[in-house]
Amino acid sequence: MINHDSIEISDKIFGFATPAQKEFNAFFREKVFELAVKYDVDLIFTYVTAFELQEERDYLTSLHDLFTKSGGDFYFAELSADLETRLARNETPYRMEKKASKKNVEWSRTNLLDDNKNHRLNSYEGEVWFTNHLKVDNTNLSPEQVADKIIEAFGLTPNEKEEKEYRFGG
């Protein structure tokens, strides 16, 4: 599940960043995670983390605990890229197709710049939140190359689906 799957659905119904949208988004994610655990479904979830906020760590720890307490595994793959690259990727046709909220290019760019200014979006050198924590600078890597690095680092079995956005995020 890509983070924007839940955001786009809740945004379409309730409008972006409204109390109802935030509540539905949280509910939707929680239910997806619960069902993934219940039915032993492998899941990739992408999420922008504000590393300076304790509530972000608490949220990710709660996800870690949900999966590991049921006997599952939890892998934390942290991606980083320079701001110029992130801004360019933010406006690609692929991203516009997959994320309706990105079609408002001015808003999306401002949001990205504000998040970059107001939050620490990557861990410090040596800062490790989970046992299976990998940091990959993907500035000059394709999504497939990043996925291959993650698969190799964690000893995972590659997904054979053609829909690479499921496997790689997007």
- Enumerate residues 6+ apart whose C-beta is below 8 A from 168: 143, 144, 146, 147
Question: What confidence score (pLDDT) does residue 162 get?
Answer: 55
Question: What confidence score (pLDDT) does residue 84 get?
Answer: 98
Residue 100 structural domain: 3-168
Q: Output the pTM of the full model.
A: 0.83
Question: What confidence score (pLDDT) does residue 170 get?
Answer: 41
Question: What confidence score (pLDDT) does residue 165 get?
Answer: 45
- Domain tally, the chain: 1
3-state secondary structure 17-58: CCHHHHHHHHHHHHHHHHHHHHCCCCCCCCCCCCCCCHHHHH
Task: Divide the 170 residues of the chain into consecutive groups of 10 and give the mean pLDDT of each group.
Answer: 77 90 93 93 89 97 96 95 96 83 86 97 96 96 93 86 47
Query: Do 1 and 44 form a contact (C-beta atoms < 8 A)?
Result: yes
How many residues appear in the chain?
170
CA distance 113 to 168: 24
Question: What confidence score (pLDDT) does residue 167 get?
Answer: 43
